[in-house]
Copies of this chain bind each other. A is one copy, B any other.
Amino acid sequence: MLPSIQWIKSYSREDFSGDLIAGIITAILLVPQGMAFGILAGLPAQTGLYASILPPIVYAIFGTSRTLAVGPVSVAAIMVAQTLASLPETVHPLNAALTMAVLSGGALLIFGCFRFGKVANFMSHSVLSGFTNAAAILIILSQLPNLIGFSKPQHISWQSVTQEIELGFQLNSGITLLIGLLSVVFLVFCTHSLINLLSKLHVPRSTATLISRAAPLGIVCLSAVSVSSFNLESVKVVGSIPAGLPQFELSIPSIEILKLLLIPSILIALIGYVESISIAKTLANRHRQKIDTNQELIALGVANLSAGISGGMPVAGGFSRTMVNYAAGAKTQLAAIITAILVGAVALFFTPLLQHIPKAALAAIIIVAVTKLIDIKGAWKIWRYDRIDGLVLLTTTAAVLFLGIEAGLAIGVGFSLTSLSIRAAKPHVAVMGRVPRTEHFRNILRHDVETWPHLLFIRVDENLTFANVAFLETLTADYLVTNNEVKHIIFVLSSVNIIDSSALEVLERMIETTKELDVTIHLSDVKGPVMDKLKTSHLIELLRPGGVYLSANEAAETLK
Contact = CB atoms under 8 A, between A and B. Distances in A.
Interface string A386-415: 101110000000000000000000000010
B498 A288 contact: no
Contacts of A504: 385-386
Task: Give the interface centre of A118, A122, A466, A495 by most chain B CB atoms within 10 Å.
Answer: A466
Contact of A417 (B290, B420, B477): B420
Contacts of A286: 513, 516-517
Contact of A501 (B386, B468, B495, B510): B386
B118 A425 contact: yes
Nearest to A284: B477
A39 B284 CA distance: 66
Interface of A: 118, 120-126, 281-282, 284-286, 288-291, 293, 381-382, 384-386, 388-390, 414, 416-421, 423-425, 428, 461-463, 465-468, 470-471, 473-474, 477-478, 480-481, 484, 495, 497-498, 500-502, 504-506, 509-510, 513-514, 516-517, 533, 536-537
Given A416-B466, A417-B418, A502 B124 contact: yes
Q: How many copies does the complex hold?
A: 2
A424 to B, nearest CB: 7
A121 B495 contact: no
A461 B290 contact: no
Contacts of A463: 423-424, 462
A297 B138 CA distance: 41
The 5 closest A-B pairs by CB, nearest first: A124-B466, A125-B502, A285-B513, A389-B501, A417-B417
Main secondary structure of the interface of A (DSSP, over half): helix
Nearest to A414: B414
Nearest to A495: B495
A91 to B, nearest CB: 27
A514 B417 contact: no
Given A285-B477, A290-B481, A513-B282, A386 B500 contact: yes
Contact of A480 (B282, B288, B420, B467): B288
28 contacts: A118-B425, A121-B421, A121-B425, A121-B467, A121-B470, A121-B471, A122-B418, A123-B466, A124-B466, A124-B502, A126-B502, A282-B513, A285-B480, A285-B513, A288-B480, A288-B517, A290-B478, A290-B481, A384-B536, A386-B533, A389-B501, A389-B502, A390-B501, A416-B466, A420-B420, A420-B467, A424-B463, A495-B495
